Structure 1
Amino acid sequence: MQLSFLTPLFDRRGPWATVYFDPAQNDESGAKRRELSVREACRTLEDEGADAATVRAVRDALMDIGPAEDPSGRVVFAAGGEVVLSHRLSRPPQRLIAGWAPLPRLTPLLELSSQDPVCLVAYIDRTGADFERRGAAGPQDAGQVEGRQHPVHRTATADWSERHFQLKVENTWEQNAAEIAEALNTAYEESGADLVVLVGDPRERAAVHERLPEAVRQVTTETEHGARAAGSSSPALEEAVEEARRQHNRRRIEEALDRFRAGRVGVPDKPTDAVEGVPALVEAVREHRVETLLIRPDGADLARETWIGADPDQVAVRRTEARTLGENEPLPVRADDALLRAAAVTAADVLIVPPSDGDGDGTDVPTGGLGALLRWTYEPAPA
């Protein structure tokens, strides 16, 4: 998951109020539970030292959250008497999460917001295609392309002139498929998508698929559901797109963990492109070496104390170390929050690793719950 949408949280200093809120059911008892949850969240913020203006802003924002618009709830981040960011959740929190701290509380957001990849859906027919970007902000128009409109329909006769006409139809199809593939490649690059799903007639999908650049073909799938025509959307199409996103994400996590296991420090004097543990990660984020931050939510290191300054790369394991980085008044924060802030401002990716299932299969990596794939290899320091 890319964290660029969290940028507003790092443009100003805290402290921050963070509340993960489930609006419950849309009935009388649900309304009562929502009111009680709002009171509990605000009371928690007050007990932890939040100022009255920020608590009031949070209360107003929570009261506006309802099950019809946000069935899985929202997270609200507020500071300085105003709500800075409110983000829809993909899954409701199992409990109310509220806190007042120097940094926003971010790991639950990654768990409760779908980290399924950004998907570019191409709705194709014989004359062109419409592109739609599916990401955290919901479906968004990503452009369209129109090819030649005539001739595109074949005849059923065997007359020579008709066969010639059919050849022209075939040429039109081929030309349009090439134009769609070219436009789709451009839309893929401009949209920042991670994968592509082709929707339309099997022949048209295949013609476009085979003309895509190899790098795009490798992340492209097809579905038999749906078409370009208006009103052709269906639950089956929506499920096919979501399943394509889930499978892509599973493969991505598996590949990342394979690379992590192979590359982490473990062999003396061996160059590595993966690290784990808070001290090594702190060093890596200070040097902007983190390509992908790995977080296992049940890891003990997530809550480990670290020290931060005003700048995202001012992160240290000890308070005295933070002062040597130029921060006279460092603040204690959770390790995961400090690392996520640094990852966000350095355009690092973040992957949530499934918790260990306790079957001893070695899935409980990274050790302690925090690790990273690095942007370049380095020689570990001598022991």
Structure 2
Amino acid sequence: MQLSSLQPLFDRPGPWATVYVDPAQNDESGAKRRELSVREACRTLEDEGADAATVEAVRDALTRMTPAEDPAGRVIFAAGGDVVLSHRLSRPPQRQIVSWAPLPRLTPLLELAGQDPVCLVAYIDRTGADFELRGAAGPQDAGQVEGQRHPVHRTASSDWSERHFQLKVENTWEHNADEIAKALSAAYGECGADLVVLAGDPRERPAVYERLPDAVRQVTVQTEHGGRAAGSSSPALEEAVEQARHRHGHRRVEEALDRFRAGRAGADRPTDAVEGVPALVEAAREHRIDTLLVRPGGPDLGRETWVGAAPDQVAVRRTDAQTLGESEPTPVRADDALLRAAAVTAADVLVVPASDEDGNDPDVPIGGLGALLRWSYEPTPA
């Protein structure tokens, strides 16, 4: 997950109110539960010291939530009397999470909204394509491209003039495949998708695939289901898209864990990966984190660290933070501090499972926090 969309959370000081809530069912009993959950969340914020203006902003945002708009729930981030950001969840939280803290509470967001890859679906026919972005926010229009419309249909005649016409038809197909591939590559670069799914015409679809740049083709899959024509969507297409997203996400985590296992420090060699809060804090200060690995439930996530106003002012001890130029450092959770540092340095973040599908390596990374680094370095002698 890239955290660039969360930048507003790091552009202003806290403290922050963070509330993860499930809007319950759209019926009378659900409405009563929503009312009680809003009241409980606001009471918790008040008990933890939140100011009245911020509590009221959270209350208003939660009251306006509906199961129809947010079927899996939503997270609210508020500070200084304003709701700074809210984000739709793709999975409902098992329980309501309420926090009043110096930094926004982000780890639950990684689990509930951030891990699912964003998919760019291209609905292709022989005249063009429509693009649709699939992510946690639901389907979104991502543009279209129109190629040449004539001629696009061949005839069954073997007459010389007809064969000449058929050649022109095939030239049109080839031209349109080029145009679709170029437009699709541009859309992929602009929208920040993680993978591409091609659906539609069985002849034009593979022609588009072959014309994609290598970097795009490596994250592209094809499906025989669905198409560009109105009404051609189907449950089979929806299943194909979701399977592609799941496989991509699983493969990405496995590749990252393989790199992490191979890159951890040996006794006498440079390291490409680190784990444990002290090593991660050092890497964050030096902007060396390329991918932050977070294993929910790990004991290091809630470990105390100290931070200053700048995201790279992070330390294991209060006195260390003061030497970085922060006279009044603040104690925060390690995961909150490292996620803020990762976000402002454009690092990626991956949630890793407590164990793989075979039950191996349940403690990788040790403590629940690790990182792949942007460059190797010699580990500091103990």
Secondary structure of the corresponding residue to residue 339 of structure 1: helix
After superposition, residues 1-383 of structure 1 pair within 5 angstroms as 1-265=1-265, 267-356=266-355, 361-383=360-382
Amino acid at match of 1:179: E
1:29: how far off? Answer: 1.2
Amino acid at match of 1:377: S
Contact 1:110–1:352 under 8 Å retained in 2: yes
Determine what percentage of the aligned residue pairs are the same residue: 82
1:288: how far off? Answer: 0.7
Secondary structure of the corresponding residue to residue 211 of structure 2: coil
1:234: how far off? Answer: 2.7
Q: 1:114, 1:225 → 2: CA distance?
A: 27
Q: 2:312, 2:181 → 1: CA distance?
A: 42
Q: 1:192, 1:72 → 2: CA distance?
A: 23
Unaligned 5+ runs, structure 1: none
Contact 2:305–2:332 under 8 Å retained in 1: yes
1:129: how far off? Answer: 1.4
Q: 2:285, 2:221 → 1: CA distance?
A: 39
1:358: how far off? Answer: 10
Secondary structure of the corresponding residue to residue 113 of structure 1: helix
Amino acid at match of 1:366: P
Q: 2:171, 2:362 → 1: CA distance?
A: 52
Q: Which moved more, 1:74-83 or 1:330-339?
A: 74-83
Q: 2:19, 2:319 → 1: CA distance?
A: 31
Q: 1:27, 1:145 → 2: CA distance?
A: 43
Q: 1:180, 1:354 → 2: CA distance?
A: 38
Secondary structure of the corresponding residue to residue 202 of structure 1: coil
Q: Which moved more, 1:52-61 or 1:231-240?
A: 231-240
Q: 1:137, 1:216 → 2: CA distance?
A: 23
Q: 2:355, 2:142 → 1: CA distance?
A: 38
1:179: how far off? Answer: 2.0
Q: 1:329, 1:26 → 2: CA distance?
A: 47
Root mean square deviation, CA, Å: 1.5
Amino acid at match of 2:58: V
Q: 1:159, 1:4 → 2: CA distance?
A: 60
Superposed CA deviations along residues 287-322 of structure 1, whole A, max 9, x for unmatched, are 111111000002100000000000111100000000
Secondary structure of the corresponding residue to residue 216 of structure 2: helix
1:362: how far off? Answer: 1.4
1:166: how far off? Answer: 1.1
1:216: how far off? Answer: 1.6
Contact 2:90–2:136 under 8 Å retained in 1: no
Q: 1:22, 1:238 → 2: CA distance?
A: 25
Secondary structure of the corresponding residue to residue 272 of structure 2: strand
Secondary structure of the corresponding residue to residue 379 of structure 2: coil
1:355: how far off? Answer: 1.6
Superposed CA deviations along residues 77-126 of structure 1, whole A, max 9, x for unmatched, are 11111211111111111111111110111101111114222222111111
Unaligned 5+ runs, structure 2: none
Contact 1:269–1:382 under 8 Å retained in 2: no
Q: Which moved more, 1:113-122 or 1:72-81?
A: 113-122
1:239: how far off? Answer: 2.3
Q: 1:293, 1:230 → 2: CA distance?
A: 42
Secondary structure of the corresponding residue to residue 268 of structure 2: coil
Q: 1:74, 1:202 → 2: CA distance?
A: 39
Superposed CA deviations along residues 31-66 of structure 1, whole A, max 9, x for unmatched, are 111111111111111111111111111111111112
Q: 1:360, 1:177 → 2: CA distance?
A: 45
Secondary structure of the corresponding residue to residue 188 of structure 1: helix
Amino acid at match of 1:231: G
Normalising by structure 2, we get a TM-score of: 0.96
Secondary structure of the corresponding residue to residue 233 of structure 2: coil
1:360: how far off? Answer: 5.4
